[in-house]
A and B are shown apart, each in its own frame.
Chain A
Amino acid sequence: MYKIVEKKQLAPQIFLMDIEAPRVAKSALPGQFIIVKMDEKGERLPLTICDYDLERGTITIVVQALGCSTKEMMKYEVGDYFADFVGPLGQPSEFVHENIEEVKNKKMLFVAGGVGTAPVYPQVKWLHEHGIEADVIIGAKTKELVILEEEMKAVSGTTYVATDDGSYGFKGLVTNLIEELVLNQGKKYDLVVAIGPMIMMKFVCKTTEKLGINTIVSLNPIMVDGTGMCGACRVTVDGETRFACVDGPEFDGHKVNFDEAMRRSGMYKTEEIDKECKLGGTK
């Protein structure tokens, strides 16, 4: 059993939780994820690691209540337990294993969409701890959905905010802001890392392809075990089938077949609604 030691609301429907899982905290690196199963009858939910604390033995996750299970998760309070919590899973971000001097020579821009800001945070923080200040764009529909802005500012070079409705920061999509920075403000980036909804990552990749900037994305397909034994999370990268849970979740964004990935993500729409009704619905 894994104890919830902290819970904070970051935005409507978005919560942060610290979970006691010492073994996971000891091995976690930026870019990796965990799988949580709330109780005996629950499903296995993959969530990217937002932060880890070796001393407290905790892992921070950020959850957006979108479906039946995540809505159920929001009812858990400090002192409650999750039945299962496994990780860290997937490959850490590439820069973790690269020569740090070479990484220092790269100018990096992180593009975070919505709740995707949570998995961007540990990467930017890791770089900061290694003396590298990366820029960050946080994108959200509207002001109240912007999360972790202060935390991000503390570890990044410059953090920009873009809102679709212009209620805060730059008005427009993250792709508009990337173009604004590169084309109008003359910023130069060697690498873009985009994490957020599939559709956002797809369009960020289209934009960076035009601008000629290498781009890494962190894919979030449907998963079951998260250890490579089922292939539910398979994606096509550069024409080859890869399992996001073991080969990824990070891939070269310019080589990902996003249309297929988005289609596969919607595979259980009907079944999920059916189940939700059967479960009595937490809507």
Chain B
Amino acid sequence: MALNLVRVPISEQDAKERARNFKEVCLGYTEEEAVAEASRCLNCKKPLCVSMCPVSINIPEFIQHVKNKEFAEAAKSVAKYSALPAVCGRVCPQELQCESKCVLGNKGEAVAIGKLERFVADWSRENNVDLSAKEESKGKKVAVIGSGPAGLTCAGDLAKRGYDVTIFEALHEAGGVLVYGIPEFRLPKDTVVKHEVENVKKLGVKIETNVVVGRTVTIDQLLEEEGFDAVFVGSGAGLPKFMGIPGENFNGVFSANEYLTRTNLMKAFKDDHSTPIRVGNKVAVVGGGNVAMDAVRTALRLGADEAHIVYRRSESELPARIEEVHHAKEEGVILDLLVNPTEIIADEKGNVCGMKCVRMELGEPDESGRRRPTVIEGSEFILDVDTVIMSLGTSPNPLIPATTKGLDINKRKCIVAEEETGLTSKERVYAGGDAVTGAATVILAMGAGKNAAAAIDEFLSK
């Protein structure tokens, strides 16, 4: 059999057109395209792709179903391992995970595993495939804190195992970063995210929104007064970092979280929603991760004339997904690389009117193996911008540890939990996702939710 080393191309919205709308950029495979792409898979005996998937989806199995046009079977196969395939197919950094070890990648292009997973999930949604098979009730209650990827996965897995699960969510809508962080043009909310949340509800999971654990109710109250047998904390890492440079509180400086929450969760870009947003004509986003790419591309879509990424290292160090950087460049985002802000300047009314920056060069690699950027003397200049969005990463919110007796955190404010099980320093309390690791990826959070569900099941079955 001849190897087919070239990927079936996927259709996308035209770059110029999409840079001004919030519709999804990538349009996904058709049935024929998906079957053709699936046919490239060699169905390896020892599939390395599976070893690189944090939730160990049986990748060759579902791809063979696609190849045979058994799409419902493919969806059921994926559902055994993942509660959010339509999300992961879209937002996982596959180039670092499953697709990085695909043997076809040695000589040509890896199988488009993410795009196939997305196809299967979208097909099963459009064709109403029932994925809600579950075991008999175990008569025990588990509380899940946070409805992001970790919480949804943990809740879904526990419900499948017969537990009575309630998710407590602080915001008015379930989904965590999937609803407030990742924009519509990468992850449609009404179709994809809502549907995946519905799938978790169909398993019998109850979702109580508007409950801030640590304020509205505490973990100790859930365990002692409300009769929960165990708790999983998947509260994420939502606390934004700022640089601490002068001028950061001028009008026109935002955290990426605020900018994205106003747009994605509150739909400030729609005229009939009442939350306002300040767009800016010339926008600089400081940072180089996925959130920075989301913010800068959002700024363009809101109507900014110019949108810059300001990043202190070079392009090869950008932590964002390659596909997103590529999309951003196509849409006209300007990359100001090896540049670092030192001060934000404002006019007499306190509105941002520029950002002082210095140019950087990369020195020797540090302990982490990354080349350390150092300032080039005398390189100071002013970037002409009226809006600055800080996307420097986030850390876990201290609210839950601060209000839960006996729950240990480390010096990065992350909850301390066993890697395999998610068990914390407090009996019956498990944790996973960004609350434990600090800001990471959707799929790693799902993996942690999955492991914790297994550990909780084992503990409660004793």
A residues in contact (CB < 8 Å) with B: 23-24, 26-27, 32, 37, 41-44, 68-69, 83-89, 224-225, 227-232, 234-236, 241, 246, 260, 263-264, 266-268, 271-272, 274-275, 278-279
Taking A68-B274, A263-B350 as contacts, is the C-beta distance between A43 and B266 under 8 angstroms?
A: yes
10 cross-chain pairs, A with B, having the tightest CB-CB distances, nearest first: A271-B276, A229-B238, A230-B258, A86-B210, A84-B172, A43-B275, A263-B350, A231-B255, A43-B274, A278-B271
Asked if B326 is an interface residue, CB under 8 A from chain A, the answer is no
Asked if B4 is an interface residue, CB under 8 A from chain A, the answer is no
Taking A68-B274, A263-B251 as contacts, is the C-beta distance between A227 and B172 under 8 angstroms?
A: no
B267 pairs with A41, CB closer than 8 A: yes
Chain B 336-380 interface residues, beta-carbon cutoff 8 Å to A: 349-350
Asked if B211 is an interface residue, CB under 8 A from chain A, the answer is yes
Chain B 220-250 interface residues, beta-carbon cutoff 8 Å to A: 238-240, 242, 244, 248-249
Central interface residue in A86, A88, A246, A268, by most chain B CB within 10 Å:
A86
Neighbouring A residues of B254 by C-beta, 8 Å:
231-232
Neighbouring A residues of B399 by C-beta, 8 Å:
227-228, 246
Q: Who on chain B is nearest to A268 by CB?
A: B276
Neighbouring A residues of B350 by C-beta, 8 Å:
260, 263-264
Neighbouring A residues of B271 by C-beta, 8 Å:
275, 278-279
A227 pairs with B209, CB closer than 8 A: no
Asked if B52 is an interface residue, CB under 8 A from chain A, the answer is no
Q: Size band of the B side of the interface?
A: 35 or more
Asked if B278 is an interface residue, CB under 8 A from chain A, the answer is yes
B212 pairs with A41, CB closer than 8 A: no
B216 pairs with A275, CB closer than 8 A: no
Q: Report the Cα distance A87→B258, complex, angstroms.
A: 20
User: Distance (Å) between the CB of B88 and the closest chain A CB?
Assistant: 23
Q: Who on chain A is nearest to B252 by CB?
A: A267
Q: Report the Cα distance A23→B168, complex, angstroms.
A: 12
When each residue 257-296 of chain B gets 1 if its CB lies under 8 Å from chain A and 0 otherwise, what string results?
Answer: 1100110001100111111111000000000000000000
Neighbouring A residues of B276 by C-beta, 8 Å:
43, 268, 271-272, 274-275
Known: A229-B239, A230-B255. 13 other contacts (CB 8 A): A23-B211, A41-B267, A41-B270, A41-B272, A84-B209, A86-B216, A87-B212, A87-B216, A224-B258, A228-B238, A230-B240, A246-B399, A263-B251
Neighbouring B residues of A229 by C-beta, 8 Å:
238-240, 257, 261, 394, 397
Q: Who on chain A is nearest to B258 by CB?
A: A230
Asked if B411 is an interface residue, CB under 8 A from chain A, the answer is no
Neighbouring A residues of B394 by C-beta, 8 Å:
229
- Determine which of B216, B248, B261, B278 lies in contact with A225 in the assembled complex, contact meaning CB atoms within 8 Å: B261
Neighbouring B residues of A267 by C-beta, 8 Å:
251-252, 278
B278 pairs with A268, CB closer than 8 A: yes
Neighbouring A residues of B172 by C-beta, 8 Å:
37, 44, 83-84, 86
User: Distance (Å) between the CB of B246 and the closest chain A CB?
Assistant: 11
B262 pairs with A42, CB closer than 8 A: no
Neighbouring B residues of A88 by C-beta, 8 Å:
215-216
A232 pairs with B258, CB closer than 8 A: yes
B216 pairs with A24, CB closer than 8 A: yes
Asked if B171 is an interface residue, CB under 8 A from chain A, the answer is yes
B210 pairs with A84, CB closer than 8 A: yes
Neighbouring A residues of B170 by C-beta, 8 Å:
86, 225, 227
Asked if B6 is an interface residue, CB under 8 A from chain A, the answer is no
Neighbouring B residues of A37 by C-beta, 8 Å:
172
Taking A41-B267, A224-B262, A227-B399 as contacts, is the C-beta distance between A260 and B249 under 8 angstroms?
A: yes
A27 pairs with B217, CB closer than 8 A: yes
15 A–B contacts, CB within 8 A, in A order: A41-B272, A44-B266, A44-B275, A86-B170, A86-B210, A86-B216, A87-B216, A224-B258, A224-B266, A231-B258, A241-B248, A241-B249, A246-B397, A260-B249, A267-B278
Taking A227-B399, A228-B397 as contacts, is the C-beta distance between A275 and B262 under 8 angstroms?
A: no
Chain B 390-434 interface residues, beta-carbon cutoff 8 Å to A: 394, 397, 399
Central interface residue in B211, B254, B271, B274, by most chain A CB within 10 Å:
B274
Neighbouring B residues of A241 by C-beta, 8 Å:
242, 244, 248-249
Q: Report the Cα distance A228→B212, complex, angstroms.
A: 11
A86 pairs with B275, CB closer than 8 A: no
Neighbouring B residues of A83 by C-beta, 8 Å:
172
B274 pairs with A85, CB closer than 8 A: no
A231 pairs with B274, CB closer than 8 A: no
User: Distance (Å) between the CB of B461 and the closest chain A CB?
Assistant: 31
Q: Who on chain B is nearest to A84 by CB?
A: B172
Q: Report the Cα distance A24→B209, complex, angstroms.
A: 13
Neighbouring A residues of B242 by C-beta, 8 Å:
231, 241
User: Distance (Å) between the CB of B389 and the closest chain A CB?
Assistant: 11
User: Distance (Å) between the CB of A249 and the closest chain B CB?
Assistant: 13
Central interface residue in B172, B248, B394, by most chain A CB within 10 Å:
B172
User: Distance (Å) between the CB of B341 and the closest chain A CB?
Assistant: 16
User: Distance (Å) between the CB of A198 and the closest chain B CB?
Assistant: 14
Q: Who on chain B is nearest to A229 by CB?
A: B238
Q: Report the Cα distance A27→B216, complex, angstroms.
A: 6
Neighbouring A residues of B217 by C-beta, 8 Å:
23, 26-27
B249 pairs with A236, CB closer than 8 A: yes
Neighbouring A residues of B244 by C-beta, 8 Å:
241
Q: Who on chain B is nearest to A277 by CB?
A: B271
